[in-house]
Amino acid sequence: MRTLLRALGALGGVGLILLGVAVARTLALKTPEAVTAPAMTVEAPSADTLAQHLAQAVRFGTVSWSDTLPPNVPALDSLHQWMVKTFPRVHATLKVEKIEESWLYTWEGSDSRAAPVLLMAHLDVVPVEKGSEGTWKHPPFSGDIAEGYVWGRGTLDDKVNAVAELEAIEGLLAKGLTPKRTVLLAFGHNEEVLGSGARAIAKALEQRGVRLDLVIDEGGALADSVFPGLAKPTAVVGIAEKGYQSIELIVKGAGGHSSQPPDETAAGVLAAAVARVQAAQLPSRFTGPTEAMLDGMAPHMGFGLKLAMHNRWLFGPVLTAQLLKSPASAAMLRTTTAPTMLSGSPKDNVLPLTARAVINFRILPGETRETVKQHVVEAVHDDRVQVAFTGIGSDPSPVSDVTSEEYDALQRTIREITPAAVVVPYLVIGGTDSRHYSALSRNVFRFSPTHVSASDLKRAHGTDERVAVNNLPDLVRFYSRLVQNVAINIK
């Protein structure tokens, strides 16, 4: 900011005018009245009951080891048996289909012309990193309830959502409610590896000619003090997610003994190519979802940040420079470049026949896997280096519309349950199963009202994953209210 003010100062009168315009625009920016959504009384089981249920679900070690290993069928089956036993009304009323090892539930609506809504979650979890088991405060599959939390792998990612969705439907059934619009639940069994289960469910729905009014999946949360300068809980709703592609660089060598090396070995050529790709970062820019997030947050910030965020026409470069300093915010501004794997000769005195590197890219909306590959070829600029896709990738998802009725209903539901929340759209920098449903709906949103702090973000996929017990009733209330708003209380 200081640099910019100095630059404006150097411009003299013109600089002062520009700054004056920015200040005036900022002063005119009003904090939007929290859209009047009266906090709703929505019933939910007690926090203790919900904690017990989540703890039980966590104890089934439904680990997805890798995309080349089969799913853990016995654990997935046991978890499903538990679901049948724990949510009897759901299983007596809804149609349940097994697709691969994933589950699709259909709660038939009375209006067959209304497009269904889909609530998603995944039942698998990532492995616990070898050697880290002993460092967990509570063993990763213990499902211990202690210190106000349910502990264990999968509590946050993502069993809490599967359980809360089932609790919500069970509760609505107990009250004798029935939907006008069909409600679908889709529980993937391998989101953490490839998501083939979700893809198969999406394909089955597509073959049946189903269009979805609304899709809700993981990927957003209630962020507590995650954003500097924003004190209120921020409901970040993912309206798009980045694409994914790994690219391999391969250099062939002549092999031979390292006592008589050529000027450049395959490993040396490869290393230089990787360094060039890493130095040629893809350009940073504000995409639609990130602009919408900054616009949504600006009115709630202190004056300095408000000034910069609301006047990106003037402060854009400063803001960009600031955001690029942290890997988490940089990931929202550009396609990220991460060299991850390297291999050469198997022995120190043997020249490599082949040297190989893998670089993982997370692709910003507006770019594609092909444009990224083209960028890599240009950055490498060396015919000795072969550049090719490796593994399965995906282009960035489409961006969902925040002016839609469906986004409005979601926003209203969030505020009915958490009236203090600032609701903002954002770009999900990881991947979720919901990308497989892009072709079936224009309204794919990634959000669940789990409170997360900066430390919780490291716990998902890390050590000491946990969910606060007192957060659980609100999760059930949210799904219950959402189903009422979008599928039951409709014209």
User: Which residues are near Zn ion by CB under 5 A?
Assistant: 157-158, 218
DSSP three-state, residue 305: helix
Task: Choose between 218 and 464: whose C-beta lies nearer to Zn ion.
Answer: 218
* Shortest distance in whole angstroms from residue 438 CB to Zn ion: 17
| H or E element at residue 315 | helix 312-323
CB of 122 to Zn ion, least distance (A): 6
Residue 194 burial (CB count, 10 A): 16
Q: Looking at beta carbons only, is 144 or 218 nearer to Zn ion?
A: 218
C-beta of 411 vs 434, nearer to Zn ion: 434
84-92: long-range contacts at Cβ-Cβ below 8 A with a sequence spacing of 24 or more? 86/53, 86/56, 86/166, 87/166, 87/167, 87/169, 87/170, 88/170, 89/169, 89/170, 89/173, 89/174, 90/166, 90/169, 90/170, 90/173
> For tokens 């020249």, what's the residue?
351
Do 188 and 198 form a contact (C-beta atoms < 8 A)?
A: yes
CA angle (94 as vertex; 92, 99 as ends), nearest 5: 115
Nearer to Zn ion, 101 or 158 (CB): 158
The answer to whether 277 and 466 have CB atoms below 8 angstroms apart is no
Q: 164 exposed, middle or buried (CB, 10 Å; 0-12, 13-18, 19+)?
A: buried
E strand segments, 282-384: 336-343, 354-363
Sheet containing 149-151: order of strands: 145-146, 149-151, 466-468
Catalytic-labelled residue, pool 124, 167, 416, 456? 124
Question: Minimum distance from CB of 74 to Zn ion (Å)?
Answer: 21
Q: Is the dihedral of CA 220, 118, 417, 89 positive or negative?
A: negative
- As measured in angstroms, the least distance from the Cβ of 67 to Zn ion is 15
Residues 423/427/430/436 CA torsion (nearest 10 deg): 100
Rounded to whole angstroms, the Cα distance separating 108 from 106 reads: 6
Shortest spacing between CB 86 and Zn ion, in angstroms: 21
Helices (H) and strands (E) in the chain, counts: 16, 17
- From the CB of 218, what's the least distance to Zn ion, in Å? 5
User: Is 124 considered catalytic here?
Assistant: yes
Burial class (CB in 10 A: 0-12, 13-18, 19+), 47: middle
CB of 223 to Zn ion, least distance (A): 16
Nearer to Zn ion, 230 or 331 (CB): 331
Nearer to Zn ion, 448 or 485 (CB): 448
Distance CA 446, CA 297 (A): 18
| Per-residue burial over 409-427, b = 16 or more CB atoms within 10 Å of its CB, e = otherwise | bbbbbbbbbbeebbbbbbb
Least spacing, CB of residue 80 vs Zn ion, in Å:
18
Tell me whether residue 290 or residue 450 sits nearer to Zn ion (CB atom). Answer: 450
Q: Are 356 and 343 in contact (CB under 8 A)?
A: yes
Q: CB–CB of 107/184 below 8 Å? A: yes
* Distance (Å, whole) CA 248 – CA 250: 6
Q: In the complex with Zn ion, which residue's Cβ is closer, 167 or 241?
A: 241
Using the minimum distance from each CB to Zn ion, give the nearer residue, 195 or 344. 195
Q: Which residue is catalytic, options 101, 157, 170, 191?
A: 191
- Minimum distance from residue 387 beta carbon to Zn ion (Å): 31
User: Which residues are tagged catalytic?
Assistant: 124, 191
